[in-house]
Amino acid sequence: MQNYISAFIEYLDYEKGLSVNTQAAYRRDLTRFSDYLQKSAGLSDPLRVSKQQIMGFLTARMDEGAAYSTVARSLSSIKTFYKFLVLEDYIQNNPTTDLETPKIKRKLPAVLTIEEVDKLMQQPRVTLPLGLRDRAMLELMYGTGVRVSELLHLQIEDVNTTAGFMRCLGKGRKERIIPVNQTAVDWVIRYLARGRNSLVKNHLERTLFVNARGRAMSRQGFFKILAGYVEKMELNKEVTPHTLRHSFATHLLENGADLRAVQEMLGHADISTTQIYTHLTRSRLMEVYQLYHPRA
């Protein structure tokens, strides 16, 4: 089984261009599936797996208390794995055909209000190079809705401060062009002029946002920075880098943006992923109605 999984992961890397994190998630799901087959049926050959055994695995995961979203992701991984096996002619009949993903009760993502965003932006000490960097990062993230991995992989030349747009590589190494508002542009310019040069030690370093040692920043480093500012705000709300992305999309839709345009800016392959934000805007409309209508 592990040989087939390794071949599959190589396919995801070289043929599909999926990120290291996504590859690791597939490997975890398939390794758990492999362990189940070995323990329940003494089976180590994925080519002999039946539809009933796959259903048994999903049922076992639910019996363990796994969330519906986790079970759905496991099934998605198994389906993709068997499509690969068919594609490479390891098997002719796909045992996952007609298997349905469990219906997921999607949790609405947390978002910041515009006032909370403004307060967050005021937290960095912009008289210091690191504060300038942090303000530029936060403004750019909220202003474009990029994922944290996309933000941290930006090169200096990826942000066109003259034309007001940004180039980034998303999932599957797909390139997209995103407009950048003037406020975010101004803070990036200030950071480049008065902050970055004092942080970078190697003049060949082209990563836009660097850590205190002048190297590319890690996801964990960004998480810590954001958590520190949220703590200073004394905000009674869980805030992650993705919260800024959710807030970007929600605020655009609340102000009349087209759903397809938001989908393109977020880099969602399927518009159904973007549609979750319409639920947030409906919830907000209901709150306003209940608060202000005389008969509500």
From the candidates 171, 190, 194, 219, give the one annotated as an active-site residue.
171
Pairing of strands 165-169, 175-179: antiparallel
Q: Which of 36, 142, 229, 277 is catalytic?
A: 277
Instruction: Say how far residue 234 (Cα) sits from the centre of its chain.
Output: 25
229 is catalytic: no
Task: Indicate which residue of 147, 196, 246, 251 is catalytic.
Answer: 147
39 catalytic? Reply is: no
Asked whether the beta carbons of 22 and 12 are under 8 A apart, the reply is yes
Tokens of 124: 């960095």
- 295 catalytic? Reply is no
Which residue of the set 79, 153, 242, 284 is catalytic? 242
Would you state the structure tokens that stand for residue 224, as one six-digit string?
Answer: 């810590």
Query: Is 176 a catalytic site residue?
Result: no
Clarify whether 277 is annotated catalytic: yes
- Could you say which of 176, 194, 219, 268 is catalytic? 268
16 catalytic, yes or no?
A: no
Which entry of 61, 73, 135, 245 is annotated as an active-site residue?
245
Distances (CA, A) of 95 to 25, 48, 155: 21, 9, 44
Catalytic residue numbers, as ranges? 147, 171, 242, 245, 268, 277
